[in-house]
Amino acid sequence: MRSLRNWVIITLIAIFTVACNPASPPQSVAPTTPAQSSTAEVKPVGASKVVALTSLSADIIYRLDKNKLVGIPGSRLLRENAEISKITQVSEGQTPPNLEKIIALKPDLVIGATGFHDQILEKLKGLGIKTMTSSITSWQSLEELTKAIATEIQADPTALIQSYQSLISTKATNPKSTLVLVSSQPILAPNKNSWAGDLLTQFQINNAAAELQGQSPMRGYITLSAEKVLEANPQVLILVDVGDGTINKLKETPFWNKLDAVTSDRVYTFDYFGLVNPGSIDAIAKACTKLQEIVKVNA
C-alpha cells in the first residue's frame, strides 16, 4: 500500500509539473472568415476575456492586465490573493475543468497545460474559442509564456520580465555539489531538463544529477538507488515537501547519516510549489529567495 501511495504521489507531481509547465505558440481556433482573409491590413484585436486553466498562467494574466482574467482554476496559490479568488473558478484539484462554466464566461482565449488539458481545449476549439497551451520546464520557457500571453492580451511584459530577472541576481561563485530529492520510493531527483534543474542552473548551483539520464515516470527526473545517492554524496541536500512524509522517510534510510550534507548540517527543505511546480510568481520568488540564501551561506 505504501508503494502504491508513493506512485500516486509521483503521478500527481508529474501532472502538476506539466500543468504548470516552454510555451508553445498560441493555438488557434475559429475558421477564417471572409473579413479575415481580406488583403486589407487589419489591426489585431487582443483577447479581452481570458480563462486560465493553470495557476501560473492565471497569475501572469492578472499581473499583466487583471481586467482580462475572467476564469481561474481552483488553487490554494490563487486563493492566497483575495482579489484573484473572487474570479470565477472553473476547476478544482484534479477534476477536469467545467466546460459549461467556461463557455458561460464567453472567453475569447483559454490557456491550458500541454498534455493535461488537451481534451477540453480541443472541444473549445471546435466551438470556435481560441486556445493556447503551456509547458514550463525552464526559466526561458517562463519568459516565453509571459511574452506570448502579453501578445495575446496586448499588454507590455517588460516590467514583469524584469521582475523575474531580479530574482536570480545572486549566483554561486564556489558551487558545492547539490542534490535535490523529491520522493523516497523511488528516490527521484531532477536533472537539467526540468524546471527544478534549470532553476539550479540559473543560480549556477552544481546539481549532482544534472547530466544523469534514466527511466522515470517524470520527464526531467531520474530514479536513484541508495548506492547512487551515496556515490554522489552531495555537500548540500535539498528536500522537497510534497506532503506525503517523504522527508521523514528519507531521514530513516540507512545512507542518510553517511552523507556529507547531513553531517555538515547543509540540508534544506523546500515547498513543492516554486521548486518542482512553478505554481505562481510568488511561489517562484520564495524558492529563489531560499536558493539565494543557500548560495550565500555556502559561498
pLDDT of the residue at 44: 57
Beta bridge partners of 89: 72
What's the rounded Cα separation, in Å, for the pair 5 and 11?
A: 10
State the pLDDT at residue 243: 80
The helix (run of H) or strand (run of E) holding residue 73 is strand 69-74
Residue 125: CB atoms within 10 A of its CB come to 16
Q: Is 203 exposed, middle or buried (0-12, 13-18, 19+ CB in 10 A)?
A: buried
Contact call for residues 116 and 15 (beta carbons, < 8 A): yes
Q: Which domains does the chain have, with CATH numbers?
A: 19-28+48-166 (3.40.50.1980), 177-297 (3.40.50.1980)
Q: What is the pTM of this model?
A: 0.84
So what's the pLDDT on residue 215? 67
Which stretches of the chain score pLDDT less than 70?
1-45, 215-217
Query: What is the secondary structure of 227-249 as a DSSP string?
Result: HHHHHH--SEEEEEE-SSSHHHH
**Amino acid 80: pLDDT:** 87
pLDDT, position 171: 81
pLDDT of residue 217: 66
> What's the pLDDT score for residue 173?
81
CA distance linking residue 90 with residue 145, whole number of Å: 21
pLDDT given for residue 15 in this prediction: 45
What does 107-160 look like in DSSP terms, one character per residue?
A: -SEEEEETTTSHHHHHHHHHTT--EEEE---SHHHHHHHHHHHHHHHT---HHH
- Alpha-carbon gap, residue 135 to 297, rounded angstroms: 32
All three cell numbers of 180:
535535490
